Amino acid sequence: MIVAAETLRGAWQLVSWSFVYEDGRPPEHPLGPDARGFIMYTDDGHVSALLMRGERPRAAPATEAERAQAYAESFGYSGRYVVRDGTVYHTIQVATNPALLGITSTRHISFDGTTLTLSGPDFTPGAARSQKIVWRRPPAAT
């Protein structure tokens, strides 16, 4: 089933983010198995994603080491997206990692009615792994 852009629109809450290795080793969770995050798709073709390690201290980082740790435990980007033939392409315009600026990520879409799975090549060219990101709609605001 090919998913249309309308299916993606709105907010999605992270269920899991993993690296899947071609050599069969167990998946790796770069921000831990309890990572948290959101991805949002707008009607006018913008995408924004922010992910972080699940168990982080609530206090604002004060030292240089604490700020570096907070950076290492989060990941975010924003830009434009298009959907074609069951695949979403994110063209990254702003990112916490400057190496991602200007690249276009390819994510194959799988949707089962409540869960959205985006999978595709890693950001690192030639990496022997792919990414699998699972999302669900967040609960309605009360």
Q: How far apart are CA 68 and CA 93, in angstroms?
A: 22
- pLDDT tens-digit profile, the chain (142 residues): 566 778 899 999 999 999 999 888 999 999 999 999 999 999 999 999 999 999 876 666 678 888 888 888 999 999 999 999 999 999 999 999 999 999 999 999 999 988 999 999 887 777 789 999 999 999 887 6
Sign of the dihedral through C-alpha 58, 64, 68, 69:
negative
Question: What are the sequence ranges of the domains in the chain?
Answer: 5-136
**CATH numeric code, 5-136:** 2.40.128.280
Q: Are 47 and 41 in contact (CB under 8 A)?
A: yes
> 32 in helix, strand or coil?
coil
pTM for this entry: 0.88
